[in-house]
Amino acid sequence: MVTEREKRRLQRRWRRIVAANARAKVKRAHKARRRTARRRTWRRIADPRFYLKAVIVLAFAGLVVLPFLADSTLAVMRPMALRGNDQCRVLRYVDGDTVTMRCTGIGVFRARLLGFDTPEKKSRCVAEARDAVTATWLLRKSIWEAEEMQVQLKGTDRYGRRLVRMFLDGRDVADIMIATGYARRYGGGRRGSWCT
């Protein structure tokens, strides 16, 4: 017959065995989770959808975030002289010849730069849309590199945009943009096609 003391000893031993088995089970489960996580990581890296998502994120950053940061930096760093003590700032570059400006005393408005025409971003032709992005970045670069900037307001066009003549270091921005090859002279009327 089993005494009370032996019974308690057997119960303690049984509890230890059960606890050891539970700990071993937890360790095995933890190792299995780590192995599964490693497999998932490799599967994710090998999956082409992973790369597609990465391309989409990079494209978004390049097409939206980067221009926004560049425009914001230029708006803060590069004010332009208007008449007297008034100043204008370019807030956004729509394309190579259209910008959104803010001038003291006038407010925020969309402006068409006079004297030249650049490709349009919203074009059916891929080559024109590509050249439009290049022209926009060239305009940003020209304004960034200029030491002295002036604008002259000249009225409005049929789309409600203000017509603006812009000078960078004493040179008309139209001449600068035409020299790059991504703009051509324009004095109004029908624009020519940029598609080749």
Tell me the pLDDT of the chain averaged across its residues: 83
For 29-53, what is the mean pLDDT?
78
Q: Tell me if residue 187 falls in helix, strand or coil.
A: coil
Residue 179's pLDDT band, with cuts at 50, 70 and 90, is very high
pLDDT of the residue at 121: 85
Instruction: Kindly tell me if the per-residue pLDDT of 196 is higher than 70.
Output: no
> Taking the model in full, what pTM does it have?
0.64
pLDDT in tens, 104-126: 888 899 999 998 999 888 878 88
Model confidence pLDDT, tens digit, residues 131-165: 888 999 899 888 888 888 888 888 888 888 899 99
Give the pLDDT confidence score for residue 54 in this predicted structure: 86
pLDDT tens-digit profile of 69-107? 777 777 777 777 776 677 888 888 888 888 998 888 888
The more confidently predicted of residues 76 and 55 is 55
Give me the percent of the chain exceeding a pLDDT of 70: 96
Distances (CA, A) of 149 to 24, 60, 126, 138, 168: 75, 31, 33, 16, 5
Report angle CA 94, 98, 102 to the nearest 5 degrees: 85
For the record, the structure tokens of 9 come out as 């000893």
